[in-house]
Structure 1
């Protein structure tokens, strides 16, 4: 029923997000038993962590455009969210 942790790491970001949305819908509908809900919640938590890790990795690769004194692009530096 639930994805194995190894299988979750193999999912693309889009596939993991889609599966997470399916889990949320099923949990919100109340159609899952208590045991199934617990399993789904645990799978959803692993999927959320995987999606967050991929987003953080993508964010780390984003370059910030630096503008020169004339307002024109002068180069790039690594993205720093702080």
Structure 2
């Protein structure tokens, strides 16, 4: 991977998820050298952590926005973000 990659925190959510998807496809192809695979895997883990943190932050913000007029929380049932994705060789 080139060292000119943006810092994970500088990427938009869409950019980070697109890059992670590309990394996963490349790792699954099995055509990469060991060093490149390890570097890609490390970058993928960084992207995944960032994406999960952003989802958690968004869920907290939505929870705050759902406060009722009298100040009580209105909890609305919903599905949690899927965190089962894993990077593997």
Q: TM-score, normalised by structure 1?
A: 0.73
> Gaps spanning 5+ residues in structure 2: where?
78-89
Q: TM-score, normalised by structure 2?
A: 0.68
RMSD: 3.1
- Partner in structure 2 of residue 11 of structure 1: 11
Bigger Rg, structure 1 or 2? 1
Moved over 4 A (4+): 2-6, 78-81
Deviation at 1:80, TM superposition (A): 8.6
Report Cα offsets for 1:17-74 as digits up to 9, x if no partner. Answer: 00000000000001110110000000000000000010000000113476xxxxxxx8
Q: Which has the higher strand share?
A: 1
Question: Is the Cα contact below 8 Å between 1:2 and 1:39 reproduced in 2?
Answer: no
SS of the equivalent of 1:46 reads helix
Q: Which has the higher contact order (CA 8 A, sep 6+)?
A: 2
Aligned residue pair count: 74
In the alignment, which of 65, 73, 80 is matched to residue 77 of structure 1? 73
